Amino acid sequence: MLQTKFVLGSDLIDLNETLNEALSNIKSENINIKYELDKILAIIEYEIEEAYKGRLCCDCAFWDDHGNNESLNGFCTLTGKRMRFNCHACPKFKDLRE
């Protein structure tokens, strides 16, 4: 998901410090910064990875393995689809631990 953050400074030194502070709080691989120095403004565009990506369906709140711990297949009660134990989670993923 693409996110945008505006960083405004009172002068260039303040903009630099504020921008560095804002960047230290962003955890993203894809960051693009656009500068408008005449307005003492920086625009940060970054992409955050959704929490469900990299997770497995078996961790989903809607996963149902019918009580069989050795089952390689399960049933997603939200989408109504039969899933494999190691399928990647979908955008409807809800982790019970969060």
Across the chain, which has 98 residues, the per-10-residue mean pLDDT values are 93 96 90 95 90 74 72 80 79 67
Domain that holds residue 30: 2-47
State phi, psi for 37 to the nearest 5 degrees.
Answer: -70, -25
Same domain, 38 and 65: no
Following CA atoms 57, 61, 65, 66 in sequence, which dihedral angle do they give, to the nearest 10 degrees? -160
What pLDDT was estimated at residue 31?
94
Total domains, the chain: 2
The pLDDT value recorded for residue 11 is: 95
Q: What is the reported pLDDT for 5?
A: 95
> Are residues 62 and 33 part of one domain?
no
Residue 67 shares a structural domain with residue 90: yes
What pLDDT does 96 receive?
57
27 and 57 belong to one structural domain: no
pTM listed for this prediction: 0.56
